[in-house]
Amino acid sequence: MTGAQESGPDAEAYAGLGDWTPESLVVPGEVRAVVSAPHPVLSRAADEVDPTAKETVQLAADLVATMRVSPGCVGLAAPQVGVGARVFAVDVTGHPKAVTLHGTFVLCNARVVEATRWKAGREGCMSVPDLTGDVKRASRLVVEGDLPGTGKPVRLVTDGFEARALQHEIDHCAGLLFLDRVAGAHAVYQRKVYL
């Protein structure tokens, strides 16, 4: 499942996802309620977490469980389930726009370290269910973060739709919605298609 090769200046300190799967967390995930804007938790910069802490591991499992029961959901950040923690789950498997993909994974304390090849694209969000918007994102991305459970530092190199999903979720952890990044006065649309 691993896509582009993980490399770069900190390649020794940051490995790839390896054989990590949500099942590595051992605990079963529970589906949590998703909050919608204008809930204040969505506009607050979330806190760093201890990726090995029991509550972080449970949160990671819950994010995956909630993402899996939500049709069309390719990513879910902790603020979206009302928790101000820098944790998110992503899975773009099977999405027609995905090129490189890393399957289902959860990252803690993730940050963008390289972002290039900016492209506009239409985004929606489970927490802004009635609107979509045109947002410019890097289509080539390097992200570093920690795996929940082991706390192992990882580096992901990705592109296209998975890169967009990662930036969207990292924004959630910074208290930003896609609405904060839309291109202009006419770049937000009433959502017409529901899955």
Partner 1 sequence: MNELAITVIGRDRPGIVADVAEVLARLGANLTDSTMTRLRGHFAMTLICTGPAAAEVEAALAPLAAEGQLLATVRAVTPDGEVPPVGEPYVMAVHGSDRMGIVAAMTRVLVDAGGNVTDLSTRLAGSLYVVLAEVELPAGVADTLVDRLHRTAAELGVEVTLRPADPDLL
Binding site for partner 1 (CB under 8 A): 36-38, 43, 128-131, 136, 176-177, 179-188, 190
| Residue 125 marked ligand-binding | yes
- Is 12 assigned a catalytic role? no
For partner 1, the closer of residues 44 and 111 by Cβ is 44
The residue annotated as part of the active site, out of 6, 144, 162, 169, is: 169
Q: Count, in order, helices (H) and strands (E) of the chain.
A: 2, 6
In the complex, the smallest distance separating the C-beta of residue 38 from partner 1, rounded to whole angstroms, is 5
Task: Tell me the C-alpha distance between 64 and 50, whole Å.
Answer: 18
Closer Cβ to partner 1, 113 or 179, answer by number: 179
Known binding residue 73? Answer is no
**Annotated binding-site residue? 173:** no
Question: What is 9-58 written as a DSSP string?
Answer: TTTTT-B--TT--GGGG-SPP---PPP-TT-GGGGSPPBP--TTSHHHHH
DSSP state of 127: T
Q: Smallest distance, Å, CB 79 to partner 1?
A: 13
Name the minimum Å distance from CB 62 to partner 1.
25
For partner 1, the closer CB: 113 or 188: 188
Query: Please, which residues bridge with residue 115 across strands?
Result: 141
Amino acid (one-letter) located at 143: V
Query: Any idea which residues carry the catalytic annotation?
Result: 169
